[in-house]
Amino acid sequence: MTESTSIPVVVAGSINVDLSIRVPRVPQSGETLLATSNVTRRPGGKGANQAIAASRFGAQVHFIGCVGDDQDGRHSVESLRHAGIDTTGVHTVSVPTGVAFVMVLPAGDNFIVVSPGANHSLSPELLVQSLDAYERAIVLMQGETPAESVSALASHATERPNLRVVLNLAPWRELGPKTLATCDPIIVNQVEASQMTGEAVDTVDDGVRVAKTIGQLARSCVITMGEKGACFFDGDQGGHIAAPAVGKVIDTTGAGDGFVGALAASLSRSEPLNKAVADGVVAGASAITFEGAQLPGD
C-alpha cells in the first residue's frame, strides 16, 4: 500500500521533559541513594514519544496537546517539529510543562513518576475543537491526559466514525464502558492489564486470554509483554507475536511508546491488527537499545 492511501495519525497526548538518572537499585523508604550517572534532561512524555515513533515509521503525524510557557515546552515542541510532526495543535498554557522523574536500573528497567503540569490543560472542549480539523484519522491518546478528555474523544468518535480511537491506557485509570467500547485497539502492558481485570498476566497464555477479555469490552485489544512480545485480540481472533532477540538492553524507557507509535503508523496504512502488532514489536525491541525514550532519526 502506498503512502498516498494512508490517513493521518493525530496524537492527542502528553508532552513531558524527562529528568533521568541511573541508579544501582530501587531505594528503600527513608534511604538516600547515590545515582551512578548525572541527570539527563530530554524530551519525553508518552504522547510525544509515540508521535515521534509513528513519524519514524512513516506516518503523517499531527499533535494536539499543551505545554507551559517555558524552555522545556519550547524545546519539546521544537523536537516534535524536527521529527516532521505538525504542532499547530499544541497550545501554550500558564501551567508548567509536564515533568517525568525517571530512574533506570542497571538492567535497563525503569521507574517513572510524572507531574502532569500543562498536560492536564488538554480539556474535553479543547480536544474536540482541535479535532474538527480532521475528517479521517487515527486518533491516539494515552492515560497521561485527563480521563474526561479520553471520554470526550470516545463520544465524539461515535458521531464521527472516520475517527479511529487508539488508546494506550498508560497509566491505567478507570474508564466507563462506553469509552472502552470505542477503542480499536486499547493497548496496555502486563501491569495495566492486571489492574484492569484483576487477573495475573505473566505468561503468553495469560496475555492471549486477558487480551480477549479486555478486547470484548473494546473493539480490540493489545497487551505488550516486554521480552515476550505482545498478545492481541482483533475482535474476532486472538494471537501472540514474539519479540525479536535484542543484544544488550540499555534503557527500557519509552519501549512501549515505540511499540504504540509504530502500531499506529501501521494502522494508518490500513494494515490489519496482527501486522500492526508485529511492526510494534520490532519498534519496541529497537527502543531498548539506546538511552532515552524517543526513537532517534536516521
Catalytic residues: 257
**Nearest to ligand RIB of 148, 291 (CB atom):** 291
**C-alpha cell at position 175:** 474508564
Q: Residues 72, 144, 192, 234: which binds ligand RIB (CB under 6 A)?
A: 144
Residue closest to ligand RIB (Cβ): 44
**Nearest to ligand RIB of 100, 281 (CB atom):** 100
Judged on CB neighbours under 10 Å (0-12, 13-18, 19+), 65 is buried
Establish if 143 lies at the interface with ligand RIB (CB under 6 A).
no
Determine the Cα–Cα distance for residues 115 and 193; give it in Å rounded to an integer.
Answer: 23
Q: Residues 9, 22, 46, 134: which binds ligand RIB (CB under 6 A)?
A: 46
- Relative orientation angle of helices 204-215 and 190-197, to the nearest 10 degrees: 50
Determine the Cα–Cα distance for residues 233 and 83; give it in Å rounded to an integer.
Answer: 31
Q: Residues 112, 140, 218, 287: which binds ligand RIB (CB under 6 A)?
A: 112
Q: Is 51 left (phi over 0), alpha (psi -120 to 50) or beta?
A: alpha
Binding mask 257-286 for ligand RIB (x = CB under 6 A): x-----------------------------
DSSP 243: P
* Binding span for ligand RIB by CB under 6 A among 38-46, 161-169, 235-243, 282-290: 38-46
141 and 131 Cβ atoms separated by less than 8 Å: no
- Please report, as residue ranges, which positions from 200 to 259 form the binding site for ligand RIB (by CB under 6 A): 253-254, 256-257
The number of residues that bind ligand RIB (CB under 6 A) is 16
Regarding beta strands 221-224 and 230-233, do their DSSP bridges make them parallel or antiparallel, or are they unpaired?
antiparallel
Residues that bind ligand RIB (CB under 6 A): 14, 16, 18, 44-46, 49, 100, 112, 114, 144, 253-254, 256-257, 293
